[in-house]
Structure 1
């Protein structure tokens, strides 16, 4: 049995990992990058935007993003200098429920740029790049917290139907083309062949638990699908498998995962830039319209039905008995719910994004921008707004300072900087940069935390730039 102190430590660790760590898991680039035309990676956001260079090579770079509807200060609360968890009797659940809806969402995304290049030819711009991407999208039901608030009291109904998780790791080849259609309009497209490496997803239509003194009733309808090197050891037919564990890979199998082209997919980005006049430019892009079809190393578990089992004698409202209650429920579910296994194909979608931008050019080296970014996924529509000042005083340096606001999410400052050292460009970009921190005392330990941080998006990397003073048709101003 897990002790109360250990339970407290585990809960804290899970929250720290969820809110502050960006694991290697399609990514939406930082909004700070959008008006940084000196950085070639701007073409990944809006394919109609042409980098301000005659040609470029992209060197390795990385992008990390983590976002959550809840911050550390929502899940843990400051009570007179001591932070308490939902397992504490001093925890204010009403405050927690005001911060989230029926489900709260967690999104974690990573992009690792391997290599790429691009060049301008007349009114056309061509580019190609190769990267490894991944994402994790999870929805956690609010009723999970009701378990710690009220326990398994008589007559309770817990609805976990909004529980979902999707994770995928894949390779992307980005083939980009942009054209100056005329003096006012640029259009662009990114065609992206995709090749999946590993994936897992849930498809839960119904998951409810109803309690009484006589019996507990479970109503369930859903499935879990994976494409990964795992082995399932089946036990009694119709009952939960005896064991699910990862399979050891031979060197040849590992190389196949890293370099193979199985699990094909396809995505597309579309973009346009309209130059209303010398001062005002408007732009729009739709990204990541695509999917991956998973065909290798397939396993699935499906379950459907209404089941009941003998009510527990434990007092669920007693926090010290929660572990016993959860373990007993888990054992009962394994023995009564009928599962079926399979190896069918399935597909996963990317996370589409819609970008709308407006930029006002004060002069050749100073502009102000506005961005709206919408991310579309099941039960998790996210809208971000961003205003920025973009300063390019010399051809070898550019700076962006901005402020972002996410509805029902975070708000905060961001920045971007690119510097040229000869042909070598170094750049770093950040949205929702953490600025408020606290010394958190918890479980007899003290550590530094950003307790109000809900989102963080950073990117950094290297490029080789040729024609750094701008393209031949639209040179930058250089004051040297």
Structure 2
């Protein structure tokens, strides 16, 4: 048996992280408060251009790339496929994440003497997918079981989940004094659809049989939980009904959940600063349109007898394979249940230390040229996200520069699960009250995008009123 479903290979060739190291700490961009509700605020009020204020997608791979499989380099494709199957690990993963902000805004509040508090709010849509490479499944599909007698294959290698949600949020930020700022953001999650299969266990093994050549032994504990999908895929569902239902779920009409973010910024001294945040501490309770499928128990499959003859009357090849299919269908009966379940949000950690330098001074009087603060900053940022198998980590070194009033830039160098040489660059520009930002990751890989370990893009437009420089 020398064929493997391309799905298992392709899902290992594209992986996307939720790390936004370019946006984190970029206080001139209002959306940075989504990463740290306790970050610095540099505007009196703003509103995001609907559907354009924050668009984020990024991708990459923790294992084999598309180029590794399909490059025109004279190496036989079967050899590349074999190398991919055996080089990847069960911990290699696909993740996909995108965010589109539907609307957002924020404004300062306080007394007549000082407005040291800030309220922000908005609604965004998010898709998040993660699937680990099912290595034992891939080896079994590639080699078959005849050459693997008595080898135990791990059925728990298959772990995957996917969800589409909308998030309505309200944040509160307070500048306690010149040194300390904290913030919190409350969230209401609305699940548009969800698929979860992350707690699978069991094994499969082929042994020499007694009534036939081989006995195929299965010990399985497999389950797939779904919500919001059955009604959309029903035979009697039309496209208008689907669109109407999706719109309803987008605006808090789906399965609901609660969560919050917390964060802070602390100025150690005039030039050193630390900050940190925890995002998405929360859950979603799935009770609407739920369908769960499970296969649990011990099974023994002895094959089909007799083997079909080459000619003459008797069992044909079609009869033979139909018998196998019928036997498998009878053996593996999936139980369907409609019990509600709960999914926990993937908690994210951000933390950084920052050193600012380079004040503008007049050559005439050796005094400050303006009060915009330091023009440069360097620092280190740690990112972590909780995942079903193990946390994913990233460490970023960055350089920030105020090029001139209304234009800032940030460059990053990131080490993460995908690569040790991810270089990113982002800018934020103000044209009057209109703010525009554009950020991209992994520039070194753009010369051959198919061989990229990771790529990322963020952009947005905001209307910002009375922006103050620190």
TM-score (norm. length: structure 1): 0.80
User: Could you say which residue in structure 2 is the equivalent of 1:262?
Assistant: 254
Residues 418, 332 of structure 1: alpha-carbon distance in 2 compared, 3 angstrom cutoff:
farther
Counterpart contact for 2:96–2:130, Cα < 8 Å? yes
User: Could you say which residue in structure 1 is the equivalent of 2:193?
Assistant: 198
Q: Which deviates more, 387-396 or 136-145? A: 136-145
Q: Which deviates more, 107-116 or 61-70? A: 61-70
User: Could you say which residue in structure 1 is the equivalent of 2:289?
Assistant: 297
User: Could you say which residue in structure 2 is the equivalent of 1:464?
Assistant: 463
After TM superposition, list the pairs within 5 Å mapping 1:232-381 onto structure 2. Answer: 247-248=237-238, 250-251=240-241, 252-311=244-303, 332-363=327-358, 364-381=374-391
Deviation at 1:163, TM superposition (A): 1.0
Distance between the aligned counterparts of 1:14 and 1:97, measured in 2?
Answer: 13
2:104 aligned with 1:112: no
Residues 228, 333 of structure 1: alpha-carbon distance in 2 compared, 3 angstrom cutoff:
farther
2:136 aligned with 1:143: yes
Deviation at 1:112, TM superposition (A): 0.6
Residues 158, 437 of structure 1: alpha-carbon distance in 2 compared, 3 angstrom cutoff:
farther
Counterpart contact for 1:358–1:370, Cα < 8 Å? yes
Secondary structure at 1:47 match in 2? coil
Distance between the aligned counterparts of 2:94 and 2:128, measured in 1?
Answer: 11
Larger radius of gyration: 2
Deviation at 1:464, TM superposition (A): 0.6
2:440 aligned with 1:430: yes
2:392 aligned with 1:382: yes
Secondary structure at 2:464 match in 1? strand
Distance between the aligned counterparts of 2:236 and 2:39, measured in 1?
Answer: 43
Deviation at 1:227, TM superposition (A): 0.8
User: Could you say which residue in structure 2 is the equivalent of 1:160?
Assistant: 155
Deviation at 1:390, TM superposition (A): 0.4
Deviations 1:332-380 (A, max 9, x none): 5332023221111111121111111011101211111210101111113
Residues 176, 260 of structure 1: alpha-carbon distance in 2 compared, 3 angstrom cutoff:
closer
Distance between the aligned counterparts of 1:415 and 1:130, measured in 2?
Answer: 27
User: Could you say which residue in structure 2 is the equivalent of 1:66?
Assistant: 59
Looking at secondary structure, tell me which structure has more strand per residue: 1
Name the Cα RMSD after superposition: 3.1
Deviations 1:262-312 (A, max 9, x none): 311011111011100111000111111111111111111122111111248
Distance between the aligned counterparts of 1:354 and 1:101, measured in 2?
Answer: 26
Residues 259, 307 of structure 1: alpha-carbon distance in 2 compared, 3 angstrom cutoff:
same
Deviation at 1:193, TM superposition (A): 1.0
Counterpart contact for 1:106–1:138, Cα < 8 Å? yes
Distance between the aligned counterparts of 2:325 and 2:69, measured in 1?
Answer: 26
Unaligned runs of 5+ in 2: 110-114, 208-212, 306-319, 359-373
Distance between the aligned counterparts of 2:426 and 2:326, measured in 1?
Answer: 52
Residues 407, 19 of structure 1: alpha-carbon distance in 2 compared, 3 angstrom cutoff:
closer
Secondary structure at 1:359 match in 2? strand
Distance between the aligned counterparts of 2:119 and 2:80, measured in 1?
Answer: 60
Residues 90, 349 of structure 1: alpha-carbon distance in 2 compared, 3 angstrom cutoff:
closer
Distance between the aligned counterparts of 1:412 and 1:310, measured in 2?
Answer: 52
Aligned length: 424
User: Could you say which residue in structure 1 is the equivalent of 2:182?
Assistant: 187
Residues 29, 424 of structure 1: alpha-carbon distance in 2 compared, 3 angstrom cutoff:
farther
User: Could you say which residue in structure 2 is the equivalent of 1:225?
Assistant: 225
Counterpart contact for 2:348–2:384, Cα < 8 Å? yes
Residues 408, 431 of structure 1: alpha-carbon distance in 2 compared, 3 angstrom cutoff:
closer
Distance between the aligned counterparts of 2:343 and 2:204, measured in 1?
Answer: 28
Residues 460, 73 of structure 1: alpha-carbon distance in 2 compared, 3 angstrom cutoff:
same
After TM superposition, list the pairs within 5 Å mapping 1:385-404 onto structure 2. Answer: 385-404=395-414
Deviations 1:69-102 (A, max 9, x none): 2131696286x813544xx156564x8645x433
Q: Which deviates more, 68-77 or 352-361? A: 68-77
Residues 306, 28 of structure 1: alpha-carbon distance in 2 compared, 3 angstrom cutoff:
same
